[in-house]
Each structure stands twice: as C-alpha cells, then as structure tokens.
Structure 1
Amino acid sequence: MGKFLVSIVVITSILHSLKINAQTSDTLLPAKIKHIEPLFVDLIRDLGARKGEKEWNIGFGSAHLNNHIELTTLVEYEFAPINRLGFEVEIPFTFSIGSGNQKEPLPGNRLDGLKLATQYTFLVAPRLNTSAAVGYLNEFELTSFNKYGKESFVRANLMHPFLVVAKSWKNNIHTMLITGPEWEKEMRSTKTDFFYHLNASIHYAIPTTNSVIGLEINSLFAQDFASIVLRPQMRLTVSKTSKVGLVAGIPTNVKYDSYSFFVRWIYEPLLIKRDKRFKN
C-alpha cells in the first residue's frame, strides 16, 4: 500500500508539472523585433506579428496631374489569426477633379478594387535585429462607376508576391526592403503586363518621443519605363492606440509620376499581454 501511495504521489506530481509547463508555454509571447514600416507602401502586418493583433488604417491622398487633380482614399484592416501570420483587406477609391482646361475626358470616379493580402514572417533573429517575411497580394481592379453595366465589372486581376527584409540598427535607425514581381492580367483580353517593385525605406526614431522621420523610395520597373518616387515622411503618435503619418511624393521623372501628398491614420487596439517573457 505504501509503494502504491508513493506511486500515486509521483504520478500526480508529474502530471501537475506537465500542466504548469503547458500553461506557461501558452502564455509565452513569440519574439518580435521592433521595425518601422514605411507609410505609403506599408506591410500587411507587423513583422513577427502576434496572435490577436489588429489594425485599422484610413488614408487620404492627392496628386496634381497635368490636367486634373486626383483624390484617393482607402480603408484598410489588418489582423493576425496566429503568430507570425497576417492578413489584410483594403478598399481604395479614386476621384478625379478637372481643372477646366483639360482636352481629354477625365478618368471616371471609381472603387479601384478589392485588395486581399497575406504575409508570413519566417525569420525573427533578435541577435541580428533582423526579420524577414514572404507575402502575396491579389487585387481585383474594378471599372469606373459610370461604366457599371456597360462593361465588365472586374477590369483586371493583379498578382503580386513579395519579400520583406528589415533590420534595426543602433542609434534608432531602421531599414526595410519590400520587393517582388507583379502581373496584371486584363479580363477583356489575353494581355498580361509585367512589373517589378523595389521599395526601400530608412527611418529614424526620435529619442524620448514616439515620433519617426524617414524616407521611402518606391521604384517600379516595366519593359518600357521606370518610375522612381521619393517619399519623405513623418509619423506622429497621437495616443497609445493612434498614430498619424504624413507623406510627400516627389517624382524623379514627371513624365510618369506627379507630385503628391498622403495622410494615413493608424489605429491599433492594445494587445493584452498575458506574460512579458518571450520565446522564439
């Protein structure tokens, strides 16, 4: 009987220990490095995203083209259902305002399309302050409002796999590269256009503040042209959950691009942290 009681005590102790270890492992948060993402071409979700993270973005921009002004706005929702995996849904709109002396008809006002994207962080290296992720964006481009019922509702399908590599340096410097090919398949024909994106950014986190200043360089390459736009930017913290980003667009070639301005409001609900310890 004594040996039996001893065995019961030992087994109970082991099971209790396993239960505690299991609960502890559930409360550990995965490692995550602080990187500063660009404001114009932003990430699908933070690198090293943690389960339960979510974020709302509302953006407004304007571009002064040769014969009209183009106004853009977007609503964007990001969320992470599991650690390191993020999803995004974005709905962008474009409106054109004429200057009164344009010779060609204005582009129609439109819901640009439906953007669906995902991103997975496959590398988090705290010792190197480096993270890397792969992702995929698919956009169904829609026709103008005034052409609804007259032509195909979905004008084109855009497919864009991409790679993200980011590194946080000493002295509050952060760098990031987002790059990948893009295919745009027109629905009314067999034509497919090919592009390549190369978006680089460098940011400086101002000490003792939550503000950030930086430069984003958006490069787009096609068979017959290359577009490079410099985007100096600033991000200001309004509260623990809200930030505002200001972006100016300066083209290197006005033949393909125009001067522009963009504002992004970022709302990120606080993630309840069950434990401050980390695991890889």
Structure 2
Amino acid sequence: MKKLFLLPFTIGCFLFLTNPIQSQEATEKELPLKLQHAEPLYIDLIRDLGARKGEREWNIGAGITDNLDFDAYEFLVEYEWAVADRLGLEVEIPVTLFSRNSLNRNGTTRPNDRIESLKLAGQYTFLVSEKWQTSLAIGTITELEFTDLNSMQFNNLSQGVLVNPFFIAAKRFTNEWHGLIYTGPRFFSGWGGHDDYTAYEINSNLHYMIPGTGNFIGLEVNQLIKDGKLNTVLRPQMRLEIKNSLKIGIVPGISLNRDEERFSSFLRLIYEPQVH
C-alpha cells in the first residue's frame, strides 16, 4: 500500500519539477537566436550582440593612467538596455580627475578636471549566424563634450560634439576562443575656440572563455589614428563571475607610445539584473 501511495506522489513531484523546465526550454526556443561572445572590458559594447528585449546592465568603472608628468583618474557610470530584440541603447557619464606625479620633471601643468561628456549610443545587431558562429552589428555614439570644471558656466557648458559611427564583427572560433573587432571613425565638431578633428579607431580582441562559466581571459588592443599618428595600448584582461548577475573586469594597460603614456589599470563592475 505504501508503494501505491508513493507512486502518484512521486509522479506528481516529477511533473511539478519538470514542467517549468520544459516551459523554460520552449520559451528559450521561441526567443531570437543569440550567440555568447566575450565582450571587451575597456571599450565595451553598447549591449550584448544579439541582445533580447528587456535585457539591461549597469556598469561602474574606475581607472588610473600614468601620463608621464601627471596621473589621470577616470570614473564612469553607464546604463545599457535592449529596447527591442537586437537593439541596444546606452547612457554614460565619464569623469576624469588629474594630479601631478613625482616624476614631473618638466613642471608640466596638469590638465583641468572634467566631467568628460554625456554619452548617448545605440547598437543594432543585423546578423546572427549559428552556422558561422558570427554576429555583426552597427551603431553610433554621440557625445556632448563638456568644458573643464574650473571654467564651466551656465552659458559655457560644452565645447563640442563627438560622433562615432562604428562596425562590430564577432566570431566564436571554438566554444572557448572568441574574436571581435570594433572599428569606426571619430568626428569632433568644436565651438568656443575648440578645433574640429577627425580620427579613426581600431579595437581588436581575442579571448579565451572558461568552459561552463562566464569567466574569460584575453587581450584587447586599442588603436587610434589621429593627425597621422598611430597610438596603441595593449590591455590584457580577465572577467570574473561573482554570481549570475554580478561580474568584475580587471584590465591593466601597456602603452606602446611611451612618449605620452606608460601604464594604466582599470576595473569594471558589471551588474546585469535577470530578465523575468
């Protein structure tokens, strides 16, 4: 009798436990295809490639850069979210503070502290190919650049607008090895005595993702061509998953143009609430 009594109870428990899983799997199949790509940690993407509507993420970043005669301390807060499948938006406010360092032998005056800009961006993933394990996206960043804090007034808040259209191509060579390139021109239109300029950036990435986790190690190479000069910074990096919704990125930087910058370090705290 006990076995007969336990049989329907066991079947009931089994159905109760498996039905949500089956429902979740069915829901997952109904969602648009999204490939997992390792995302660079210093110049990050606006949103995951192939993002699904409702996904969102908070980022807090902090870093220090040794610029020979002075140190730069950078801070940023950004919020990104997917307003529709494959379409992500971002709002970011970066701040930079400066201080003279002990190696300042030339008496160089440090730059003025700045709220760098109000950054608004959008990114659309127009191709997600399971066959080729590749995602392609386009987007644009518009930054209203502010004046230095010591000269900021109500009638003199900004010094120009930077527009940065970009293209992203990401490929999973294997489940573990991921490659990504992020590239595009930068057009700055200045006013109030600030000159216009044009530059071009090329950001190349190669990462190894630890199987079964969101952790990875890799190398991000940031290159900027401006006034006929190529500036390159190598950024080895790692991302550690503290829990499903919380990650931390650790990014040292090594400049190949030692006449302007030596070393840097950057930390990014990533909070990604679960989509219900």
User: What range is the shorter-chain TM-score in?
Assistant: 0.7 to 0.9
Aligned to 1:79: 81
146, 149, 153: which one pairs with 1:145?
A: 149
State the secondary structure of the residue aligned to 2:153. Answer: coil
74, 97, 100: which one pairs with 1:98?
A: 100
The structural deviation recorded for 1:154 is: 0.5
Provide closer, same or farther for how the CA distance between residues 209 and 33 of structure 1 changes in structure 2, counting only shifts above 3 A. Answer: closer
Greater mean deviation of Cα atoms: 244-253 or 27-36: 27-36
Question: Which deviations, in whole Å up to 9, do the C-alpha atoms of 1:232-255 show, x marking residues without a partner?
Answer: 000000011000000011011112
Aligned to 1:16: none
Aligned to 2:210: 206
Contact 2:65 / 2:261 at 8 angstroms: preserved in 1? no
Provide closer, same or farther for how the CA distance between residues 223 and 99 of structure 1 changes in structure 2, counting only shifts above 3 A. Answer: closer
The structural deviation recorded for 1:223 is: 2.8
Greater mean deviation of Cα atoms: 80-89 or 218-227: 218-227
Letter in 2 for 1:260: S
Aligned to 1:195: 199
Aligned to 2:231: 227
The structural deviation recorded for 1:180 is: 0.6
Letter in 2 for 1:251: S
Provide closer, same or farther for how the CA distance between residues 68 and 253 of structure 1 changes in structure 2, counting only shifts above 3 A. Answer: same
Letter in 2 for 1:241: S
Letter in 2 for 1:75: V
Q: How far apart, CA to CA, are the structure 2 residues paired with 1:202 and 1:108?
A: 35
Give the TM-score normalised by the residue count of structure 2: 0.85
Question: Which deviations, in whole Å up to 9, do the C-alpha atoms of 1:162-213 show, x marking residues without a partner?
Answer: 0000001215100000001111111124842110111010000123443200
Give the TM-score normalised by the residue count of structure 1: 0.84
Superposed, which structure 2 residues align to 1:105-184 within 5 Å?
Answer: 105-149=109-153, 152-184=156-188
Q: Give the root-mean-square deviation of aligned CA atoms.
A: 2.0
Letter in 1 for 2:49: L
Letter in 1 for 2:119: K
State the secondary structure of the residue aligned to 2:150. Answer: helix
Aligned to 1:61: 63
Provide closer, same or farther for how the CA distance between residues 161 and 221 of structure 1 changes in structure 2, counting only shifts above 3 A. Answer: same
Question: Which deviations, in whole Å up to 9, do the C-alpha atoms of 1:131-181 show, x marking residues without a partner?
Answer: 000000011111111101297311121110000000012151000000011
Aligned to 1:12: none
State the secondary structure of the residue aligned to 1:63. Answer: strand
35, 38, 44: which one pairs with 1:36?
A: 38
Q: How far apart, CA to CA, are the structure 1 residues paired with 2:28 and 2:226?
A: 47
Aligned to 1:247: 251
Q: Which runs of 4+ in 1 moved over 6 A?
A: 24-27
Q: How far apart, CA to CA, are the structure 1 residues paired with 2:244 and 2:86?
A: 22
Letter in 2 for 1:229: V
Provide closer, same or farther for how the CA distance between residues 83 and 108 of structure 1 changes in structure 2, counting only shifts above 3 A. Answer: same
Provide closer, same or farther for how the CA distance between residues 188 and 241 of structure 1 changes in structure 2, counting only shifts above 3 A. Answer: same
Provide closer, same or farther for how the CA distance between residues 145 and 223 of structure 1 changes in structure 2, counting only shifts above 3 A. Answer: closer
Q: How far apart, CA to CA, are the structure 2 residues paired with 1:148 and 1:208?
A: 49
Unaligned runs of 5+ in 1: 1-23, 273-280
State the secondary structure of the residue aligned to 1:104. Answer: coil
Question: Percent identity among equivalent residues?
Answer: 42
Q: Tell me how many residue pairs correspond in the alignment.
A: 249
Q: How far apart, CA to CA, are the structure 2 residues paired with 1:83 and 1:150?
A: 39
Q: How far apart, CA to CA, are the structure 2 residues paired with 1:144 and 1:160?
A: 22
47, 50, 69: which one pairs with 1:48?
A: 50
Contact 1:227 / 1:256 at 8 angstroms: preserved in 2? no
The structural deviation recorded for 1:105 is: 2.4
State the secondary structure of the residue aligned to 1:30. Answer: coil
Q: How far apart, CA to CA, are the structure 2 residues paired with 1:222 and 1:149?
A: 30
Letter in 2 for 1:185: S
